[in-house]
Amino acid sequence: MCRLCFKRGLFIALIVSVLFVSCTKKTESGYIPSSGGASLYYEMKGSGPETLIFLHGHSLDTRMWNAQFDVFAKDYRVVRFDFRGYGKSSQQREDFQFTHLDDVITLMDSLRIEKAHIVGLSMGSFVAGDMLALAPQRMLSCVMASGGIHPSKGPSEPMTPEESAKRDAEIAALQEKGVEVMKQEWLDMLVAGGGSRRESIRSDLKAMIDDWSAWQPLHKEVRLIYGRDAWKAMAEIAPVDVPTLMVRGSKDVKDPAHFRPREMQYLSHGYARVLDDCGHMLNMEQPEAFNALVLEFLENRNLD
């Protein structure tokens, strides 16, 4: 081969390589139509053979996963989206029954994702728990951080007149206090519950909470989490064989040395771990430790 042809070949290979890296690093974003005329904002990145979906917490949005999105996209096709009522997705409605799990399934169907690794934190972990109990066939694995299957009433138990009256009183009290005061108190509580790096997450949390519409505490939500319905389903199908990691921050657990969530009794491949020196927002407060733990779990599907 002549030297000129060799150089041309090298140049073409370099260009193809650069284009490939560029494509894998590009973030796709858009909206998925869902029930009741809603739309769900999502972002997707990476080109791995398996898909991972991040589920955010209450009052937050896709940005809470900023320290994970690019890292996990190196090995996985990563999707993060705003739950209905949060971020760039449509607002909720008091007169339309849906659940966040329904929207996750709609998102997966629309993006042609048959199965995925599901990683949720706080409210996101409630939804991940619902999925573990009600749609485990759509999961490759499950990570529930700072939460699990919620003990609240599910869609099978509509709001009673007594609950409705209680919500009216709570909404009136919040309106009198002021939404901005409530938001500041919520932010301070999330930060105060952390470890030595807790102040490092304040500005990012504040940006999301400031942008949050606060629709939920000002309205009567329908049952968005399956909760007790999910617990019942879990007991009926146990043992569930989806590899599952439950993780908490050491400041978010009363007795870290004996952390064993109730869900573990229903799982054939369940693992419980506590991350040191962090609280409820452990993925933001200790991203390196969180990422390392979850990546290890995903790679091996166990922590033995």
Tell me the domain boundaries of the chain.
18-157+222-300
Sort 51 into a burial class: Cβ within 10 Å, 0-12 / 13-18 / 19+. buried
Residues in contact with 267: Cβ distance below 8 Å, sequence separation at least 6, in sequence order: 238, 239, 240, 242, 244
For position 236, what pLDDT does the model report?
97
Question: Of 103, 107, 112, which is closest to residue 130 (Cα–Cα)?
Answer: 103
Distances in Å between the alpha carbon of 5 and those of 11, 12, 16, 128?
10, 10, 16, 54
Fold adopted by 18-157+222-300 = Rossmann fold (3.40.50)
Residues of the chain with pLDDT under 50: 1-7, 9-24
**CA dihedral of 139, 143, 148, 150, whole degrees rounded to 10:** -40
Residues 260-285: pLDDT tens digits?
A: 999 999 999 999 999 999 999 999 99
Distance CA 273, CA 197 (A): 20
> Is 249 within 8 Å of 222 (Cβ atoms)?
no
Q: What pLDDT score was predicted for residue 81?
A: 98
Q: Write out the E strands in 67-164.
A: 77-81, 116-121, 139-145
Count of CB atoms within 10 A of residue 287's CB? 19
